[in-house]
Amino acid sequence: MKISVIQPDILWEDKSMNFQNLTSLIFPLYNNSDIIILPEMFNTGFSMRPAELSEPPDGETFLWMKTIAEKGNFGVCGSYIVQDGIHFFNRWIFVSPDNTRWHYDKRHLFSMGGEDSLFSRGTSKLVFSFRGVRISPFICYDLRFPVWSRNKDEYDLIIYAANWPVIRKNVWNTLLKARAIENQCFVAGSNRTGTDGEGIKYCGESMIINPRGELIECAESDDECSITADISITELSDFRKKFPVNNDADDFSLNI
């Protein structure tokens, strides 16, 4: 499978301009990738104004993703603010070219930024298959909580959609590699670059990592760009058979 991670400079709370910018970054990948991975809140930036910026599940952002997926013949995924009933969610959406969709609601809301007081947290993990690869998505702050992403031979690829600030760049780099090593899986982390409307600067360094914790591809901090890599499920399976650490893993259950 060929996966592509997009690293944009997200324009603050400007959906129309972000759609235009993302479309230009994605266009060279039409018919040349299997999955396009976007960051957290890719259409607005990490805004705490859900009442003003949220959309219904089938709103304009979903329709934009649907169109891009159909034209490019790939899956498109990323998170944005969704209102579902009376609740606001930081919701990760995956849309396939045939309009199949999956979603995951952010479990660990960033309390230090007030996200927990404005959004409802997710209550379940997501694992799904696309073109022969089992995928589990998480959003930004989820990265700090390894129990939540623990792999019991359920998935082959973790996707992290993030708005990760430059002040904590070392944490981003370290924990993405740790998640790949401990879960024996590929990891794709999509982060933004630039500075948001609150003056927070982001570290970029979107990356694709192999199950040994080695970088396959990595973007620079300040570049608006895409990175692409092939991941091999056959090689992953062989590695797990040769070094089956999961056989010795501790058993546990989550209280959700």
Domain with 227, as residue range(s), is 2-245
Q: Is residue 215 situated within a structural domain?
A: yes
Q: Specify if 254 maps to a domain.
A: no
Residue type, 117: S
Give residue 252's pLDDT. 81
Tokens of 163: 């708005």
How high is the mean pLDDT of the chain?
97
Please, which residues bridge with residue 241 across strands?
none
Place of tokens 């396009």: 36
Summarize the confidence of residues 24-33 as an average pLDDT. Answer: 98
Taking only the tens place, the pLDDT of each residue in 166-211 is 999 999 999 999 999 999 999 999 999 999 999 999 999 999 999 9
Catalytic residues: 40, 106, 140
pLDDT at site 171: 98
- Read off the pLDDT band of 32 (50, 70, 90): very high
Q: Provide the pLDDT confidence category of residue 254 given band limits of 50, 70 and 90.
A: confident
CA distance 115 to 62: 22
Percent of the chain with pLDDT over 90: 95
Residue 23 belongs to a domain: yes
pLDDT of residue 194: 98
Average pLDDT over residues 55-79: 98
| Residue 68: predicted pLDDT | 98
pLDDT in tens, 96-108: 999 999 999 999 9
Identify whether 68 is part of a domain.
Answer: yes
Please tell me the predicted confidence (pLDDT) of residue 255. Answer: 76
In this structure, is residue 82 part of a structural domain? yes
pLDDT in tens, 83-93: 999 999 999 99
Domain total for the chain? 1
CATH number of the domain to which 124 belongs = 3.60.110.10
Structure tokens at 13: 């709370």
Does 256 reside within a domain?
no
Residue with tokens 């058993």: 251
Of the ranges 33-37, 169-173, 251-255, which one carries the lowest mean pLDDT score? Answer: 251-255
* Residues 233-246, mean pLDDT to the nearest whole number: 95
Q: What confidence tier does 23 reach under pLDDT thresholds 50, 70, 90?
A: very high
CB contact at 8 A, 68 and 25: no
Tell me whether residue 250 is in a domain: no
Assigned domain for 196 exists: yes
What is residue 132's predicted lDDT score, i.e. its pLDDT? Answer: 97
Residue 251 has pLDDT above 90, yes or no: no
Report the SS3 class of residue 5.
strand
